[in-house]
A and B are shown apart, each in its own frame.
Chain A
Amino acid sequence: MPSDWLLLRKESDLSGILFLIPIALFMGLLGLGAFIWSVRTGQFDDPAGSANRILIDEDKPL
């Protein structure tokens, strides 16, 4: 709809959203992708274990 885009420019200077919305969506999709990856790799299968594993010290000499 090229005519709409022109109108948009005329009404007020809202052209910023033309790239801001895609950027926002892209970043959102990145996050969604990361979430899907984490679910697929089983990172949500054991929430209790994950929470407790933080507390385990790796007994390595300094």
Chain B
Amino acid sequence: MSTSDVLAHTRDWSLGDTPEQESPFAGLSAFVQKNGKSQHLELHVSGAKCAGCLAKIEKSVGALEGVSEARLNLSTGKFDITWQGPLPASEIAETVSGLGYGVSAAAETDADEVQRKEERELLLAMGVAAFAAANIMLLSVSVWAGAGEMGSNTKQIMHAISGVIALPAVAFSGRPFFRSAWSVLKRGRANMDVPISLAITLAFTVSVVETIRGGEHAYFDAAAMLIFFLLIGRFLEARVRRRACSAANDLAGISNRAVTRIDCDGNAIKVNPGVVAPGDTILLSQGERAVVDMALSDEFCELDESLVTGESAPHVLSKGMRIYAGAVNLSGPVQAKALSRASDSLLADIGRMLDAGEQRRSAYRKIADKAVALYVPFVHSAAALTFIGWMLAGAGFRESILIAVSTLIITCPCALALAAPVAHVVAAGKLFQLGIFLKSGDALERFASVDRIVLDKTGTLSLGIPQLSEETDENTIADAALLARSSRHPLSRAISDAAGPGPVAPNVKEIPGCGLEATIEGQLWRLGSGRWVGLNQDASHTRNLYLQRGDEMPIALEFADRLIPGTDEAIKTLEAAGYQTEILSGDTEDRVSEVARELGVSDYTSAASPQEKAARLETLRDQGHKVLMVGDGLNDAGALSLAHASVTPGTAIDISQAASDAVYSGGISSLPVLLKISKRTRNVMLENFTFAALYNLVAIPIAVTGHATPLVAALAMSFSSVAVSLNAIRLAAFTEGK
């Protein structure tokens, strides 16, 4: 008899007779879009990185019956499947999950679509600008090379052709800048796009006038090149942002799970969480995660609330108590009354907390913003003074405006606009290789200024999965495993993991809230809570399990939460690098102090509620600390979003990933690298801005004195942009040893 058979026949189901094992993906069917005969499903696959993964996933799913199309987008993780016939959606997800990749329903938001559109538009604009810049340059080179020899009429024709090419390019490719500049100007403010739009428009207009009048210089090439270089920066920024968006999709999987609702006839139907109303009866099967807050209608239920509270031990509920969204049911299927809509649940509340944090974060002034704030008035007054100066010197209106415009062009913010995005892209790519997924470019700046690191315990420092204490006697483990192998309870799993593969006792009965029992060699064996085996204990004491063989005295099995390998060294490295560390956990005092002692961290807070965690972060902020918060639980989400910067482990498939700036895989051993690369990136950016400033210091005198011919402008512009980009590419050469 296999384990699953034992399970199927002996489990004490508290509701109905549904002996089949509920697939964790059963709810996906609610997300299938039907289109005539064919069905379409969008999944989000995490963990696929190479050609091998791509081929494996697409081929395995493509081989399923009726699948006509299976295409995985490796850049965003989105997996589109189209099929005909009766294939259940859960089988597709199970196939992918069976290959070792994470699967969830793709978020039903339009955000991704909007970002994709934006990226495409920028790419198109960039292509048009590149075409124009290259072709105008072709003509301009002949004008410059033929200086002195080329007749004025030929030159005029060359300028005219350039103008004809430049007009659609400026009109089409310049839109992103014009739109943004217009929208801030309407509100009486200015951003980087204002001087850019001004420079482009003036350069084009002046050149048109000059061409008609048969003048010496036209700046069509400068206008097109300016747009092209700036669009490169914009495009790179958009790409980093879109990648981030795909990471956020991951966590939508938590609330995007179908809910089983019992209708008035007593039939169970799968529905989308969005349609659940307060008062609905919900069936929460074993292993299922609650999506809305609800009150338990059954007598008893055991929950894993680690996502909500960070507490690693199961939590026992009795009738009428509140099941928070995010909790996983560990006992048999239970019924509960929904207390709120999915949009009003604890999950949604935390979501709103995150929005608040997000707003504060967007108020953070990036280095680039500061540079622009200095740049804009400086360059504009320089151009204005140039114009006035030349007018006073009697150069005439036409001459003066031409020189002023050339000043605007040559001091173009190309280098400034590329300085940050290129560094961000290179650093994000480097971190991605190291298993750290960066969600926004400016997070690097915040990481770089961190001075204190606050760590959650469960799931961040420790595995968050109970492990059987090493001192337990081997015979006891082997005997306990006879019973434990047939249960999915976390403590039972810890026992069977410790014992390894082995036999299962026949007819094991699982009594929810008590434990497992079976008759072995004519004796009644029990594995369960202390009270159940006859010891005098209160019910909340779920830390230990007891094994009772017949009439023998019960033997205690102790469990502990172990540290993630590498945590110890990571903390030491961080402390050596001058960071202060602190543990902030929702777990109980003795467990937190144990971990703190083990790691040598003297500062710790235990039993902190999500609100207390958030408050602690506020206190530290008021003390002037720049805090890096590391945590994985839903209870950390508020703190994560309030921190100066935050990271979360990839194991946390939840809202916390959305709340943080980066997601890492493995233990916190990647933190020192992340902080180091961030510091380097900030240095490179500062170098770039310094370079851009120096460049302007040299360029402005040239322009002001009227020496900025189109040739000089083109050379200076390209040189500064290339120099800044090359400097940023140095980041790719980062190795851990340095």
Q: Which residues of B contact A53 (CB under 8 A)?
A: 51, 54
The answer to whether B54 and A25 touch across the interface, beta carbons within 8 angstroms, is no
Which residue on chain B has the smallest CB distance to residue A7?
Answer: B153
Min CB distance A9 to B, Å, is 11
Min CB distance A13 to B, Å, is 12
Min CB distance A38 to B, Å, is 9
Min CB distance B32 to A, Å, is 23
| Interface 1/0 per residue, B42-83 and A, CB below 8 Å | 000000001100110000000000000000111110000000
The answer to whether A21 and B139 touch across the interface, beta carbons within 8 angstroms, is yes
For residue B414, CB closer than 8 A to chain A, the reply is: no
Which of B123-131, B351-359, B447-455, B495-503 is the interface stretch?
B123-131
Number of A residues with CB within 8 Å of any CB on chain B: 28
Which of B154-162, B277-285, B335-343 is the interface stretch?
B154-162
Q: Which residues of A contact B157 (CB under 8 A)?
A: 4, 8
The answer to whether B51 and A55 touch across the interface, beta carbons within 8 angstroms, is yes
For residue B120, CB closer than 8 A to chain A, the reply is: yes
Neighbour of B138 across the interface among A4, A12, A24, A29, CB < 8 A: A24
For residue B85, CB closer than 8 A to chain A, the reply is: no
For residue B609, CB closer than 8 A to chain A, the reply is: no
For residue B134, CB closer than 8 A to chain A, the reply is: yes
Min CB distance A53 to B, Å, is 7
DSSP class of B's interface residues: helix, strand, loop or mixed?
helix
Which residue on chain B has the smallest CB distance to residue A55?
Answer: B51
Neighbour of A52 across the interface among B74, B135, B139, CB < 8 A: B74
For residue B165, CB closer than 8 A to chain A, the reply is: yes
Between A and B, 15 residue pairs with Cβ closer than 8 Å are A4-B153, A8-B151, A11-B151, A25-B161, A28-B134, A28-B135, A31-B131, A32-B131, A35-B127, A36-B124, A44-B123, A45-B75, A49-B54, A52-B54, A53-B54
For residue B116, CB closer than 8 A to chain A, the reply is: yes
Bound complex: CA of A31 vs CA of B132, how far in Å? 12
Min CB distance A32 to B, Å, is 4
For residue A61, CB closer than 8 A to chain B, the reply is: no
The answer to whether B156 and A48 touch across the interface, beta carbons within 8 angstroms, is no
Bound complex: CA of A16 vs CA of B512, how far in Å? 92
- Knowing A52-B54, A56-B54 are in contact, say whether A32-B127 is a contact too (CB < 8 A): yes
Q: Which residues of B contact A52 (CB under 8 A)?
A: 50-51, 54, 74
The answer to whether A56 and B55 touch across the interface, beta carbons within 8 angstroms, is yes
The answer to whether A36 and B127 touch across the interface, beta carbons within 8 angstroms, is yes
Bound complex: CA of A52 vs CA of B75, how far in Å? 11
Min CB distance B662 to A, Å, is 19
The answer to whether A28 and B74 touch across the interface, beta carbons within 8 angstroms, is no
The answer to whether A56 and B51 touch across the interface, beta carbons within 8 angstroms, is yes
